[in-house]
A and B are shown apart, each in its own frame.
Chain A
Amino acid sequence: MKDNSLDVMEMPLFEVFIRSANGLEHRHVGSLHAADAEMAITNARDVYVRRNEGVSIWVVPSESITASDPADKEMLFEPMKDKIYRHPTFYNLPEGVQNI
């Protein structure tokens, strides 16, 4: 076997999302390699749903996902931290007030 023989062949990577039951959202469970989306669904069934873990599968080519850069964490998420007035717990209610 040539040393680079494997690289030539590597099948694309897909991210797998499973809905565990109706009424719940699809949730990321991991990834797998497959030649195309159809094969990815079949493989996902065998790899991630061997025990009734789901009722629906999404597969998405990993390269189609755009992720936020961890380095932008501060810029993206820090500004929300000091907006405590967005939470109901920010407000003190006079004693006796109910159903609010």
Chain B
Amino acid sequence: MYTQSLDTDPLANDPKEVSDKRELELKKRISEGYVVEPRDDMPERYRKTLIRQMSQHAHSEVVGMLPEGNWILRAPTLKRKSILLAKVQDEAGHGLYLYSATETLGVSRDALYEDLLQGRAKYSSIFNYPTLNWADVGVIGWLVDGAAIMNQIPLTQCSYGPYARAMVRICKEESFHQRQGFDLLNEMMQGTQKQKDMVQDAVDRWWWPALMMFGPEDSDSIHSEESKAWGIKKKTNDELRQTFIDVTVPQAETLGVTLPDPQLKWNETREHYDFGKIDWNEFWRVVSGSGPCNKDRIGVKKKAWEEGAWVREAAMAHAMKSKGR
């Protein structure tokens, strides 16, 4: 998965001072390491915050299969095709772990999925970009899964048990995703000039969208504080983004590609890389539905759901009939 902070809190309009005693109590217990489990008494605001974040996360995994799925039939070798199939299947699994964890909060799977199909739900902005050449598959593994891992590792410690456990499983699988991507790119970088150019082209297109995966800057992120107080988020968007940049720059050097940011430079005093300004207008455009592939992504999911209806109906009919026998 791919968690991303998106600013669409259904409770955003609630007056801030509504956080009643019960909420404060839970926040305090959470800060002391308390883990909440399904059916435990929980304030509605906590439950809603979890449903929002977890379902967006699940949707992101599921939509995240599409950009890479685009290349399964065109993978250059059987080895790469097998790897890509396994990777995409993992993302389906991630979606399912997360949907089932979200259902423990008392929402139905179909209601969650309907939100996605009707375009009411948000998912990570990154998957609304097209995969234009084979190197995109490698760059997605390296940068997109890499950013996802950065986002997800702290979530293995989050305050809601089923979410934390799903994240443990997911994180174990994600490191394969990132490595296969890096390996793919590394192989292409040993190849012809044309192959090297493909890698550079893919890096140029995905770098900034990958940085946007961490969500808006802390100063613009209405959710960060709330999620942090609930123990659902452990690090802020800016902290995670900085760590990602710091670990990725040396990897790019090893690979032999340049990152498309002239302001990217090691800062001795901060002991971090400085980086250029992110185009937040683009981010908001893509999140709110006007990215290059938004319509297509949802269109594909809708089509699959509708065309699979007869299969689900037949399976249910068969199950009923066998039961009656």
Contacts and interface: CB of A to CB of B under 8 A. Distances in A.
B306 A10 contact: no
B109 A35 contact: no
B213 interface: no
B316 A35 contact: yes
Given A1-B306, A70-B39, A32 B111 contact: no
B101 interface: yes
B309 interface: yes
B108 interface: yes
Nearest to A8: B110
B34 to A, nearest CB: 13
A33 interface: yes
A97 interface: no
Range class of the B interface residue count: 35 or more
B109 A10 contact: yes
B316 A7 contact: no
Contact of A36 (B37, B162, B319): B319
B105 to A, nearest CB: 13
Contacts, number: 68
Contacts of A33: 109
B273 interface: no
A6 B103 contact: no
A76 interface: no
A69 B101 CA distance: 19
Contacts of B323: 36
A9 B322 CA distance: 18
A13 interface: yes
Q: Which of B162, B312, B323 has its CB near the most chain A CB atoms (within 10 A)?
A: B312
Interface string B129-171: 0000000000000000000000000000000001001100100
Contacts of A67: 39
Interface of A: 1, 3, 6-7, 9-11, 13, 29-33, 35-36, 39, 46-48, 50-51, 67, 69-71
